[in-house]
Chains A and B, each alone.
Chain A
Amino acid sequence: MEELIERLKGEIIEVLNLEDVEPEEIDADAPLFGEGLGLDSIDALELIVLLEKNYGIKIEDPKDGKKIFFSVRSMAEYITEHKGK
């Protein structure tokens, strides 16, 4: 899980162009939206693409997004649970 979290941090920085952010500055349990990294709705769409492109996971119900993308850890947990399904 920790390895996946670290990988996700790098991928998030890359796809969202968070050039001033270092992986170690991202708290795995902090909210990604609103506070924390201050991401917006376009970033949310980009994270959905990231899950599909890099992990082959499609989010069928958009309502699940809030829970899945709450933090880097919740993303990692979702990936672990759904990868290869």
Chain B
Amino acid sequence: MESIENVISGSCSIHEQKVIIDGKVGFEGNIDWSMPEFLKKVYKNFEMKYPKFYKMDPLTKLGFTTAEILLRDKNLNEKYDDADIGIVILNRSSSIDIDKAFQLTIDDNDNYYPSPALFVYTLPNIMAGEICIRHKFKGENTVFIRKEFSAKFIQDYVSLLFQKKKAKVCIAGWVEVNHTQYKSLLMLVENTIFANSYDSGHTFDTNAINKLF
């Protein structure tokens, strides 16, 4: 019997110097590396070849890198219309690190040189925008600031996007950076017709999301 289900068809998580792809360690860094050093190694290891990466702030680098690994070989643009591919990301600290760095460039009236390169990243939505630019996604993209990770919020919001026909597939999860602390989890969630519901893999529910987080 055919059924339409929301399923997690892929995931990538980066934290504690590890890249976890679909639940398995895909790359492990040295614990002594700083977060920027680690992400640079990840970028090179997965041969991303996107020089703009170097210009991104740490939050965008983390979100971009996680999405890049998640979306490898997924060919979303072939399966879906660009306007049906959405992004929903949550985090706690917004773009606080780059906000502070930019503030430093305008704090001193005698040394007042606002940096355009820093300014452009002083919004967490830029992270979602960079992923959209890279992959030519044109669907709804939103970044929510929340105190804590919430599997229920992600499930509810993405399901609503599907229900309201705002998206057919969604990159959803959590990307958080605050100074040296960082953690990301992005999932590929598809609203798909399956011949048998038991073939659908990971059902998109709070248990599955929490397990991946």
Interface residues of A (CB under 8 A from B): 15-20, 38, 42-43, 45-46, 49, 52-53
Contact = CB atoms under 8 A, between A and B. Distances in A.
B54 interface: yes
Contact of A16 (B40, B55, B120): B55
Interface residues of B, number: 10
Nearest to B118: A46
B192 interface: no
Contacts of B117: 15-17, 42-43, 45-46
Interface of B: 40, 51, 54-55, 113-117, 120
Contacts of B55: 16-17, 42
B54 A20 contact: yes
Contacts of B51: 18, 20, 38
A48 B55 CA distance: 17
A70 B117 CA distance: 20
A20 to B, nearest CB: 7
Contacts of B114: 49
B113 A17 contact: no
Nearest to A45: B116
